[in-house]
Amino acid sequence: MPPRKQAARKEAKKPVPEINPDSSFTPESFGDELKKLADQAKSETTSNWLIRQAVIWGKATSLLAVIAVYANVSELALSPIYGGIPSSIYHSKVVIASAFVGWAANLALRRSLPMKTQYFLPLIAAYIPMAQFYLFKLSGVFTASWGPLITEALTLFPLMAFSIACVADILEAADLEGLPKWAGDAAPGFVSYGIYKFVEMFTAENLQYGIGKSFMQTRFGWELVLAGTYTIMAPSKLALYSIPAVLHAAFLNTHIMTPLATKSINSVLKEDGWSVLDRWESVTGYISVLESANDGFRVMRCDHSLLGGEWTKLPKIIVGEPVYAVFAMLEAVRLVEVPNRVADKDARALNIGLGIGTTPSALIAHGIDTTIVEIDPIVYDFAVKYFGLPSNHTAAIEDAVSYTARIAKDQAQSFDYIIHDVFTGGAEPIPLFTLEFLQSLNTLLKPNGVIAINYAGDFSLPPLSTVMHTIREVFPSCRIFRESPTPSEQKVDEQGRDFDNVVVFCRKVDDKIVFRPIVEGDLLQSRARAHYLMPKNEVPESAFLTGDDVGIVRQNDTQTLAKYHDQTALGHWAVMREVLPKKVWENW
């Protein structure tokens, strides 16, 4: 319906005003009234109507965009405490429930609140970082199973419910008379959902890509920026009540990436003999380097997992002494007997996944030409700065899938040793365990080369068996070892899991894997390597599961791994809580 006709219809629907008997009713005054009505109808042009509708939808879209970004940031804020996958289990359910409540309760909120609903948004947003700070201290009580749900129910839920209620209020003024009644009633909700999902999906990838590039591009930096955005969108005196939250963020919140906050963390951790040497946020998560003065070791953390550790009280003669056996065990790739073995000085190694650099540092110390592929620039920088990663290597700071696909086209690129040691704490990076990716590594491996693959998994769940099955599909000859001795059935039943690091040594020819005896030069004057270099705790084929849940991981069919992510991640979270004190995890 044209705007001018719509205006005329609206005017016709208006109740006729009562005529004051004392007022003078003349032909002149009646003519003036008619002229006034005609002028109003003329002013309702198409452009004015479009501008008014654009303003209405623009306000609604702005609110939807801000809350969509906040939803992504909220999930990111939980990952250092609970890990990425536990943080995502209930996230979408909280979003849907809060949106439904907000849309349904907008009228009730408008009637019950002492002022406009929108004025409460800056206040709620300002107190979320403070609420998260104290809720995170209860994470050990909540556990990873319920902690993310409880935290978002008390933080994201009210913010989203109020935001969606405001959107519903705004869209009540939208002109939808040209639509059938059923469409006019449903259109605002469907269009709002579409706008929200578009912004949510678009910003999720961009937030992850840009994280850590500045203070404002950190988890809590974004929360502060978004709280400020709400204040600009809905300014009111009520915002003054957010001053305590602002002061808490400035002086007490240890999760904010400032030198003062890091100093505050160390004052808390000092009681247990721990300190944070450095920290920042990056593409794979929250990265920090921590040191235990009491026990004499240093570790690198990524979200709620550890990437490696090194003893600091033992003398570092050639290379550092690893805390975890699995990283020294990976170096046994050099010990596998092969025909026509090349000397170390003539050998080339490809190391996918850096951690603190234990294995590549040893390969470099042996004189092997080593290429390191690491996706996270902060992990690489911290490995150099705090764990002594030698400089005489080739570094590729990029995704391993794109890197191997590119160099596989170059026939001159081939390696005697390949180390596949990517982060699998709680959830494997599935693209790096697909049949197609492993086949690309097979292409890059020389005919008499050896590959060592590290995988952290639960022997009681199908993903570990699926990965082993996929590896054996590509490499015909393999031997599999676990980091720790196999636990008793009673212990597995008590803990409800059998989680461990597993290292697989493979060749691309069907010959038996045999390790040569260790000589003094293999140890690099390291005590830890004397104990851990030779693989122990071999795993028989019978230890792995079989059945319909165990298959092969393919590039376009990754559900065999993904559907068990929740269980694996929750089990890994429980393991990590036993490795370091809870204060280390809770205070970042």
Question: Which pLDDT tens digit goes with each residue over 340-349?
Answer: 999 999 999 9
pLDDT over 70 (residue 8):
no
Low-confidence winner among 180-184, 414-418, 435-439, 475-479 (lowest mean pLDDT): 180-184
Query: What percent of the chain stands above pLDDT 90?
Result: 71
Neighbours of 28 (CB within 10 A): 8
Residue 320 CA from chain centroid, whole number: 30
pLDDT value, residue 408: 84
> For residues 229 and 163, what is the distance between their CA atoms, to the nearest angstrom?
13
Give the tens place of pLDDT for each residue, 178-226: 667 766 678 888 999 999 999 999 999 888 888 999 999 999 999 999 9
Which domains are seen in the chain, by residue range? Answer: 47-251 (1.20.1250), 319-567 (3.40.50.150)
Is residue 257 very low, low, confident or very high in pLDDT (cuts 50, 70, 90)? very high
Characterize the bridge pairing of strands 321-322 and 305-311: antiparallel
* Residue pair 539/455 in contact by the 8 Å Cβ criterion: no
Going through 283-366 in order, the beta strands assigned E by DSSP cover 285-292, 297-302, 305-311, 321-322, 348-352
More confident residue, 548 or 51: 51
Main-chain dihedrals φ then ψ at residue 218, nearest 5 degrees: -110, 170
State mean pLDDT over 11-26. 49
**Mean pLDDT across the stretch 90-101?**
96
Structure tokens at 52: 């008014």
| Average pLDDT score over residue span 396-404 | 94
For 148-186, letters b (16+ CB in 10 Å) and e give bbbbbbebbbbbbbbbbbbbbbbbeebeeeeeeeeeeee
- The reported pLDDT for the residue numbered 183 is 67
